[in-house]
Amino acid sequence: MIQSLEKKCAILVKSKTYSFVVFVCCLLYIALALPNLEIYSIFKNIIIFGSIPYIYLLSKEGNKDILYLFIGCFTIQTLSWINSLYAIPNAATPYPDMKLLASLFLFFPMSFFIRKNNNKRIVLFSTFLISFLITVLVHDYNYNSLSAALNGVRVDFGLHNAQYTSMMAAVAAMVSSLLFFLIKGQKYESIIRVILGISFAFWMFILMASQSRQIWLSLTIVLLSLPVLSIKKIGRKNVLGLYLILLSLGFLITKTETFNDRMLDTKNSGDLVVAKRIIAGDWQSIPMTSFGIRFNSWQEAYSWIKENPILGTTKAGVKELILESKAFQSNPRTSGFGHLHNYYIETLVSFGIVGMIFLICFYFTIFKNAFSREKEPSYIFVFSFLILWLLINNFESYNSKYYGLYIFNLVLSCYYLPPEVGSKKGKKRQ
């Protein structure tokens, strides 16, 4: 009976029709999840259930690193929940919530049906760009948001808040650049490249219009790393020239009205005062500005982490931390907050050192796989995305938020290569 089940699973895994149908569901998920249309969950579930035959075979053969990580995420969350029953009995949930870490793994079932196929990457990334564009245009139709953006108003185009809009725009600009090179040799290459050039310019405009300083800073670091990443392709002599171009573009951006208005807002909002007090070591009187909220939440988290350093106290601990904070509860603006604006600190509060070790192992395993068999420009894109993602999660918990998980799983699904299963070679290893 077991052999019969394995045979049926192997037939499904090798079926081109089955793979095509689930891949179409991947496209529909990417298209519908960004505007948050409820029907997207149907396709998400089809992807997950559609991967069960593959996961079953993977449990019997092949490299099981990803499965060990998946089991580890459930184990850690269970142990943290048990610890929360003793550490914060009044705030602990009645059962463990597995969603926080498990949500990081959606790329895995999606990757079964993409398998680093270049054409499928192009289609999936193009679907993302079109879906994002339609989302922006629909919001503009209802609220004239593009006109507002042209007039210097900070807009989010309905994506939770402007930080997420900036993050999406930055990734969309990077994807447009990637596709510019990936379509080499494709039919109508010249026309498509013109469209992608316009796409890149549009997303850079959205990035500026949504005015998120954390994304600007992180993307600047990514751009400054590009000449070094491209040194083999462009040669050492051209690195200096590329840096001069980037610095010139940066100088021009600093002269734009949007940039200067945002910097003036930084000064007027008190964030400059916050920076000066942090440097001076005056950490007890940090005002609740945009940056001040972040710094105060990190300070509050420090004492909480010391009390439960090994296993943490689950996501409930993060909410309880805010509720017990006099600094946050005394301010109407922050009293309802439920996160710490830093994914790594939230991980330490929720799952302790064990959770952080898991996260490091997760990143190392997944991105090591993503880099495998990749050449430029994909190698540079993956590396740039990794740098961007590691940086921006210091200022916002993108890895635990809807739109952050959407982008993370989109990119990783295109670059993670799952182990082969259902082959004769795999059966010999049993």
The mean pLDDT of the chain is 89
User: Both 386 and 366 in a single domain?
Assistant: no
User: Both 185 and 261 in a single domain?
Assistant: yes
Residue 274 lies in a domain: no
Which of 15-24, 407-416, 421-430 comes out lowest in average pLDDT?
Answer: 421-430
Short-list 260, 259, 131, CA closest to 204: 259
What pLDDT, on the 0 to 100 scale, is given for residue 2? 66
pLDDT surpassing 90 at residue 219: yes
What pLDDT, on the 0 to 100 scale, is given for residue 208? 92
Residue 177 lies in a domain: yes
Count of Cβ atoms closer than 10 Å to residue 121 Cβ: 20
At which of 331, 354, 375 does a domain end?
375
User: Both 154 and 87 in a single domain?
Assistant: no
430 band by pLDDT with thresholds 50, 70 and 90: very low
| Most confident range, picked from 185-194, 333-342, 347-356 | 347-356
Cα separation, 388 vs 360, in Å, equals 16
pLDDT surpassing 80 at residue 263: no
Which of 84-98, 226-240, 280-294 comes out lowest in average pLDDT?
Answer: 226-240
Q: Is the dihedral of CA 159, 403, 99, 84 positive or negative?
A: negative
Residue 164 lies in a domain: yes
Q: pLDDT by residue (tens digit) across 53-84?
A: 999 888 887 788 999 999 999 999 999 999 99
Cα separation, 108 vs 103, in Å, equals 10
Total structural domains in the chain? Answer: 2
Helices 236-254 and 257-269, interaxial angle, to 10°? 70
What pLDDT, on the 0 to 100 scale, is given for residue 429? 39
User: Both 224 and 161 in a single domain?
Assistant: yes
Short-list 420, 307, 397, CA closest to 353: 307
User: Both 135 and 241 in a single domain?
Assistant: yes
User: Both 255 and 390 in a single domain?
Assistant: yes
Residue 256 lies in a domain: yes
Query: DSSP string of 64-82?
Result: -HHHHHHHHHHHHHHHHHH
Tell me how many degrees the CA angle 265-268-272 measures, rounded to the nearest 5. 95
Higher pLDDT, 337 or 344: 344
For residues 412 and 45, the answer to whether their CB atoms sit within 8 Å is no
**Mean pLDDT computed over 245-260:** 83
SS3 344: helix
Global pTM? 0.92
User: Both 132 and 33 in a single domain?
Assistant: yes
Q: pLDDT by residue (tens digit) across 361-389?
A: 999 999 999 998 888 789 999 999 999 99
Length of the chain: 430
What pLDDT, on the 0 to 100 scale, is given for residue 253? 83
Q: pLDDT by residue (tens digit) across 141-174?
A: 999 999 999 988 899 998 888 999 999 999 999 9
User: Both 15 and 79 in a single domain?
Assistant: no
Cβ contacts of 156 within 8 Å, gap of 6 or more: 162, 164, 165, 210
For residues 271 and 315, the answer to whether their CB atoms sit within 8 Å is no
Cα separation, 143 vs 165, in Å, equals 16
**Mean pLDDT computed over 302-308:** 90
Ramachandran angles phi, psi of 330, nearest 5°: -80, -10
What pLDDT, on the 0 to 100 scale, is given for residue 382? 95
User: Both 362 and 299 in a single domain?
Assistant: yes
pLDDT surpassing 90 at residue 329: no
User: Both 330 and 391 in a single domain?
Assistant: no
pLDDT surpassing 70 at residue 284: yes
Cα separation, 292 vs 284, in Å, equals 11
- Residues of the domain holding 16: 2-60+106-269+376-428
Query: DSSP string of 292-318?
Result: HHHHHHHHHHHHHHHHSTTT--HHHHH
**Mean pLDDT computed over 200-205:** 95
User: Both 262 and 386 in a single domain?
Assistant: yes
Measured between its terminal Cα atoms, the distance across the chain in Å is 17
Residue 281 lies in a domain: no
At which of 358, 375, 392 does a domain end?
375
Short-list 106, 89, 87, CA closest to 26: 106
Q: pLDDT by residue (tens digit) across 84-134?
A: 999 999 999 999 999 999 999 999 999 999 999 999 999 999 999 999 999
427 band by pLDDT with thresholds 50, 70 and 90: very low
What pLDDT, on the 0 to 100 scale, is given for residue 162? 92
At which of 357, 375, 393 does a domain end?
375
What's CA 222's distance to the chain center, in Å? 15
User: Both 16 and 134 in a single domain?
Assistant: yes
pLDDT surpassing 80 at residue 335: no
221 band by pLDDT with thresholds 50, 70 and 90: very high
Cα separation, 342 vs 346, in Å, equals 6
Residue 279 lies in a domain: no
Residue 248 lies in a domain: yes
SS3 156: coil
Residue 278 lies in a domain: no
pLDDT surpassing 60 at residue 330: yes
pLDDT surpassing 90 at residue 255: no
